[in-house]
Structure 1
């Protein structure tokens, strides 16, 4: 590290259980009586405090996780020219090179490299919106060069949505709603996916206070993250301290996004987080932003707030996500 580098700009303390709790989903997945209420309280407690929690015993087979993870690593190891054959577009589909993401308020661009995808098919009512709403789009898969990516990633994608629906049912109960409240908004969810590659942070990166992913909140409703064991994710707690979200085998990291913070009239917290890869190894993660149907209306009044207490007007999920994308990704500039 050069003497001019500021290697303290991304320091974080080791996580404590009180900062980011681990929630056991075994009984919820099994459908045991009372499980949804127990998980609901744990999620709401975590989401009101810090917006983040781990989940274990989520029911996704390790073979499915391993297949998706291996395909991701091998994809990012492909030559740049090969990955560039499916460049990212304003539908957030395809490969995005390092330097194209500069998050709101950050000093410089992020180091991360991303492959974006979404649903393979849409509800018939949404097919008519293709070409009108760019988030209702076809995926761009590198099938000619690397067919394994689609083949090995989609089973994980399907499974993670199953977990997402379980968690949303618990969140609904925690908000004193019917457990099926969100189902009506998730008939054909956006479920935006990202494979993310983080190179090792260099002395030059740290001298410029560059992150793998600069401090930000997620845009949507619920994020489900599979991180490798290299670490690097940091979350800001209630005291304003950055804590390391240390990888825990067999878990997913989940967090509340801005859209659910808005939907819940700020009852649930969308907290800042960031990534810096100081592990000495390449870091990989799979993030699924489990967001509603593009045309779903997000209205805090639906959650039962008295007239005048709801802080935000209704907005469609697509309009909200579009607004965030335009501020953070260079392909929109």
Structure 2
């Protein structure tokens, strides 16, 4: 990996695979295999909140087409991308300078295309105004390839997330179908993310591609390119590099799953810095339940003190976090 010198504000150690393990999903569809994987997932989700997954079942061709479509889209002129400028439902293209994560010194150096579970204008949840439920803004006029090449990957990831959540439920002593009802119509938020080359102005501003944050939702499944730049904070406060591993995806626990499990599983802070001499791309899918799904820690712990984690609907929580982190909600 050809890097510029890592600036002092973004130092991190090399990954130790005891910290971020690679979990083999080959046998996840068998009872014995799921039990073993469930134990590994829960142990890791309790101690670091991040893990790689191998043999996940999503073909290399589907992954490659999704990445290629992302690169083609971000290479378009801004005048084309702005035809689907991001809205308050978090759909469409967000230009650089509009993401300023809570607590960061400056905006993030990235562009993002947002989409979610496809619904029509006359969908009952749209009519009811449920947070984060809205038709997507696909750039079919300027980039007809995007919808075609992204959706197969997106749908495969959502299918995979249901298997991972079933295994996590089993590992936590619950039924494998614990999450099933909440995922009949998931939010399933997706992002294509483009991180431009870091320049001196960025370094002087101590700017990240994505400043330190935890993810808002339940479970994130990330496909990153081979350039590196994702950094994860260990429980002792030190930062480590989540180095790309060919053929794997990176997963992490989000805030809603930490709440749901009464703090048993941890939502770990992480950040991104593009140190390479070329553009970096990633595709995170935030595998979140239905907007009106109630996240209640008593589902996992009947004795949970709900003053710590009050029950909340998934859509309201995520929308609240969006409003504090993205510029399209300002002065509205």
The answer to whether the superposition gives a TM-score over 0.5 is yes
Aligned counterparts of 2:245 and 2:134: Cα–Cα separation in 1: 34
- Residues 31-69 of structure 1 show CA distances to partners (whole Å, capped at 9, x for unaligned) of 223111111111111111111000000000111111111
TM-score for the superposition, normalised by structure 1: 0.95
2:13 aligned partner: 13
Mapped pair 1:119 → 2:117: yes
- The Cα shift of 1:238 comes to 1.8
- The Cα shift of 1:130 comes to 3.4
1:55 aligned partner: 53
CA contact (8 A) 1:130 1:137 kept: no
Mapped pair 1:220 → 2:217: yes
1:144 aligned partner: 141
Aligned counterparts of 1:304 and 1:129: Cα–Cα separation in 2: 33
Q: Following superposition of structure 1 onto structure 2, how do residues 118-197 of structure 1 map, counting pairs within 5 Å?
A: 118-121=116-119, 127-130=124-127, 132-197=129-194
CA contact (8 A) 1:265 1:310 kept: no
Aligned counterparts of 1:242 and 1:202: Cα–Cα separation in 2: 22
- The Cα shift of 1:133 comes to 2.5
CA contact (8 A) 1:7 1:206 kept: yes
Aligned counterparts of 1:115 and 1:310: Cα–Cα separation in 2: 36
Aligned counterparts of 2:275 and 2:127: Cα–Cα separation in 1: 41
1:40 aligned partner: 38
TM-score for the superposition, normalised by structure 2: 0.95
Q: Following superposition of structure 1 onto structure 2, how do residues 285-296 of structure 1 map, counting pairs within 5 Å?
A: 285-296=282-293
- The Cα shift of 1:127 comes to 2.3
Aligned counterparts of 1:109 and 1:43: Cα–Cα separation in 2: 33
Q: Following superposition of structure 1 onto structure 2, how do residues 1-333 of structure 1 map, counting pairs within 5 Å?
A: 7-28=7-28, 31-121=29-119, 127-130=124-127, 132-306=129-303, 308=305, 311-333=308-330
Deviates more, 1:297-306 or 1:159-168: 297-306
Aligned counterparts of 1:166 and 1:130: Cα–Cα separation in 2: 31
Aligned counterparts of 2:199 and 2:246: Cα–Cα separation in 1: 27
CA contact (8 A) 2:262 2:309 kept: yes
- Residues 77-121 of structure 1 show CA distances to partners (whole Å, capped at 9, x for unaligned) of 111111011000010000000000000000000001000001123
SS of the residue 1:136 aligns to:
coil
Aligned counterparts of 2:21 and 2:319: Cα–Cα separation in 1: 32
Aligned counterparts of 2:236 and 2:163: Cα–Cα separation in 1: 30
Instruction: Count how many residue pairs are aligned between Structure 1 and Structure 2.
Output: 326
CA contact (8 A) 1:300 1:311 kept: no
Q: 1:308 to 1:101 in 2, by over 3 A?
A: closer
Aligned counterparts of 2:169 and 2:43: Cα–Cα separation in 1: 13
SS of the residue 2:222 aligns to:
strand
